[in-house]
Amino acid sequence: MTQKKKTRKRYTKEFKIEALKLAEEIGVAKACKDLGISDGAFYKWRKAAQTEGTDAFRGNGRLTERDEELRKLRQENKVIKQEREILKKATTFFASLHR
């Protein structure tokens, strides 16, 4: 007997936004039934939209604008620290030549 693997349905950002709008118009229960989604999924989407605003439903691995900026700044900081260490060593080297 083989087991059937259950696959998760994936919904686009646009679908989720439209589902939220539809629920406002006709009610959550009817919208979920008409769209074939669970109430739990709907409420999760609604909470994400309320807390994250335009950053909601960005997909797996995608960072918010704030998190992406923080990642870039950390990377720049790392490079600057490396450059500073190189300059310190170069200064020490050239200072030793002039003694």
Q: What is the pLDDT of residues 55-76, one digit of tens each?
A: 777 776 677 778 889 999 999 9
Q: Is 5 a member of any domain?
A: no
Contacts for 45 with CB less than 8 Å, ≥ 6 apart: 16, 19, 20, 56, 57
Judge whether 65 and 49 are in contact, CB under 8 Å. no
Select the highest-mean-pLDDT range: 18-27, 43-52, 77-86, 89-98: 77-86
- Examine the domain organization and report whether 48 and 84 are in the same domain: no
Select the highest-mean-pLDDT range: 26-35, 54-63, 77-86: 77-86
The pLDDT of residue 1 is: 57
- Examine the domain organization and report whether 49 and 81 are in the same domain: no
Rounded to a whole number, what is the distance in angstroms from the first to the last CA of the chain?
84
- Examine the domain organization and report whether 71 and 55 are in the same domain: no
- Examine the domain organization and report whether 67 and 41 are in the same domain: no
Distance CA 50, CA 53 (A): 6
Q: Which domain, by its residues, includes 46?
A: 10-60
19 three-class SS: helix
Domain count, the chain: 2
